[in-house]
Amino acid sequence: MVLNLSPGGCKIGSDAGVKVGDAMSLIILIPGETSPTTVDLALVRWGKDLSFGVEFVSMGTAEQDRLRQFLASAAVVQ
């Protein structure tokens, strides 16, 4: 579960056994979107208890735009 999302990465709550430096791809379901946002490459930068943080290293331009639009609209609502 994504707990904190930014244009450059996110915090993930999970009991998955990951370690710093692990690489992964992500599929993020953004509220209100009909299709998922894909991160082609994310690197684990830190881990603590049942959460870890990833940096988005590679994702398509369209996905970056959708993520930025979602974050901008979420900031307006707060």
The predicted pLDDT at position 33 comes to: 85
Q: Quick check: is 8 in a domain? A: yes
Q: Model confidence at 77, in pLDDT bands (50, 70, 90)?
A: low
DSSP structure string for the chain = -EEEEETTEEEEE------TT-EEEEEE--TT-SS-EEEEEEEEEEEETTEEEEEEEE--HHHHHHHHHHHHHHHHH-
Domain of 62? Answer: 2-72
Decide if pLDDT at 75 tops 80. no
Cα separation, 19 vs 32, in Å, equals 32
Torsional class of 9: left (φ above 0), alpha (ψ -120 to 50), beta (otherwise): left
Structural domain total, the chain = 1
Residue-wise pLDDT for 14-66, tens only, equals: 988 899 999 999 999 988 888 999 999 999 999 999 999 999 999 999 999 99
One-letter identity of residue 9 = G
**In this predicted structure, what is the pLDDT of residue 76?**
61
In a domain, 78, yes or no: no
pLDDT at 78 over 60: no
CATH of the domain at 41: 2.40.10.220
Q: How confident is the model at residue 67 (pLDDT cuts 50, 70, 90)?
A: very high
Query: In this structure, is residue 32 part of a structural domain?
Result: yes
